Homo-oligomer: A and B are copies of this chain.
Amino acid sequence: MTAYRPLNPPERLLMGPGPSNLHPRVYRALAAPLVGHLDPEFLSIMEDNKALLREVFRTQNRLTIPISGTGSAGMETGLACLVEPGDQVLICINGVFGQRLREVAQRCGARVTSVEAPWGEAIPPEKVEAALEGGRFKLLGIVHAETSTGVLQPVEEIARLARAHGALLLLDAVTSLGGVNLEIDAWGIDLCYSGTQKCLSCPPGLAPLTLDERAVEVIRQRRTKVQSWYLDLSMIEQYWGEERVYHHTAPVSMNYALRESLLLIHEEGLEKRWERHLQNHRALVRGLEAMGLKMVVAPAHRLPSLNTVWIPEGVQDLAARRFLLERFNLEIGGGLGAFKGRVWRVGLMGHTSTLQNVALFLTALEAALAAQGFARSPGAGVRAALGDE
């Protein structure tokens, strides 16, 4: 008989691409007494989550709910529901999650045209406009916060262009929702999804999603059934609506945690939270640059919640990250795809985004670099982050 150790995960400082650290209240919510998914008490929690998600998405959209899967399930929900086989779809690609949008759209039967930009750069609106003029697209898919590169994509103008050309705008806000300025209604986004484990600081497992009546109408007018039963919004809508028609069993404990993490945002104030993310990001960049490291993304398009920095020439990626994990219990992310081995991804998301964590990370990174013989002027990073020099 195999002997299993008692569960005892280490207390990590989660500064990678997600998950981020949880507030103690979110841990307590996870451990709250489980009730049935049709219990009147749970129905009221579902209502709260819809209202609180509307706040964080800045929307009045009726259909604003957490999908019972991770962020990628949110992506697939959006595409599977809005796209029918043969539809023309335009996808913007400047990283892994743009590539994923294309892949998922193709699996939904879309004929995909793509607009590309180099990794680490934003998609220029002019290129999107030119592409929109070259076809008749049902939908334009774009990533707000490219988790693989740390680019924050300006979407307001692109959303306007999409609307002008009669295309729905689908936005991936997995790494921006709750941490970065995002305005679903004011910008005219038709469908947006996110994940819980990034700037919301909730465990991974749910995908907040919102769609406007224009998108709802497109789903109503479909000629074919949505290919995914599990992610079919026309049924999920009835489960989360007045009707409470049984579809699947919602992840109850995860919905408790989501409510608590959204309440924390409600109490902090969304704009204050965006500002906090911005200030701590700036402190981090000051510190990294003072240590002689170089950011991947130009200042105008840096994502406050996920910071990509070039690994200095000669520094071993894995050894440095292992040092941070083993000596400091501190996780950062390595590069994905084209950036593998070349960049680090430093998350400052939600509860993790504090000046204290910035200072600790810079201190730990200095030690990690020193361990590989890359000694710089001691403490320069932290002093710059704190604005002391």
Binding site for B on A (CB under 8 A): 2, 4, 7-12, 14, 16, 18-19, 21-22, 27-37, 39-42, 45, 48, 51-52, 68-73, 75-76, 80, 100, 103-104, 107-108, 195, 197, 203-205, 225-231, 246-254, 256-257, 259-260, 263, 266, 325, 331, 336
Which single member of B8, B107, B260 contacts A32 (CB below 8 Å)?
A: B8
Distance of A36 from chain B, by nearest CB (Å)? 5
Shortest Cβ distance from residue A19 to the other chain B in the assembled complex, whole angstroms: 6
What are 15 A-B contacts defined by CB distance under 8 Å?
A7-B256, A8-B32, A9-B45, A21-B34, A22-B34, A30-B31, A68-B69, A68-B205, A69-B69, A70-B251, A71-B249, A76-B228, A103-B229, A195-B249, A204-B250
Closest 8 CB pairs of A and B: A205-B251, A203-B253, A31-B31, A30-B30, A204-B249, A72-B248, A27-B31, A104-B229
CA distance A106 to B205 in the complex (A): 27
A39, A104, A195, A229 — most chain B CB neighbours (10 Å): A229
B33 x A230 contact (CB < 8 A): no
CB distance from A76 to the nearest CB of B (A): 5
Please name all residues of chain B whose beta carbon is closer than 8 Å to the beta carbon of A31 when the two chains form the complex: 27-28, 30-31
Do A229 and B76 have beta carbons less than 8 Å apart?
A: yes
Distance A40 CA – B36 CA, assembled complex (angstroms): 34
Distance in angstroms between the alpha carbons of A48 and B2 in the assembled complex: 10
Closest to A22 in B: B34
CB distance from A325 to the nearest CB of B (A): 8
User: Which residue of B76, B203, B229 contacts A107 across the interface (Cβ within 8 Å)?
Assistant: B229
> Which residues of chain B come closer than 8 Å to A35, judged between CB atoms?
9-10, 12, 14, 331
Q: Please tell me if the beta carbons of B11 and A33 are within 8 angstroms of each other in the complex.
A: yes
- B41 in contact with A249 (CB, 8 Å): no
Copies in the complex: 2
Q: Which residues of B contact A76 (CB under 8 A)?
A: 228-230
| A174: min CB distance to chain B, Å | 9
Bound-complex Cα distance A342 to B59 (A): 42
Contact B33 A9 (CB under 8 A): yes
Which chain B residues lie closer than 8 Å to A263 at the CB level? 4
The CA-CA distance from A206 to B84 in the complex, in Å, is: 28
Q: How far is the CA of A34 from the CA of B42 in the complex (A)?
A: 24
Interface contact A230-B197, CB-CB below 8 Å: no
Chain B residues near A336 (CB, 8 Å)? 246
Nearest chain B CB to A364 CB, angstrom units? 16
When distances are taken between beta carbons in the complex, the residues of chain B under 8 Å from A48 are: 4
In the complex, residue of chain B having the shortest beta-carbon distance to the beta carbon of A15: B36
Are B68 and A70 in touch, CB under 8 angstroms?
yes
Q: How far is the CB of A316 from chain B (nearest CB, A)?
A: 18
A34-B203, A205-B253 known; 11 new pairs, CB 8 Å cut-off, are A11-B33, A16-B36, A19-B249, A30-B30, A30-B31, A68-B205, A71-B248, A104-B229, A203-B254, A204-B250, A230-B231
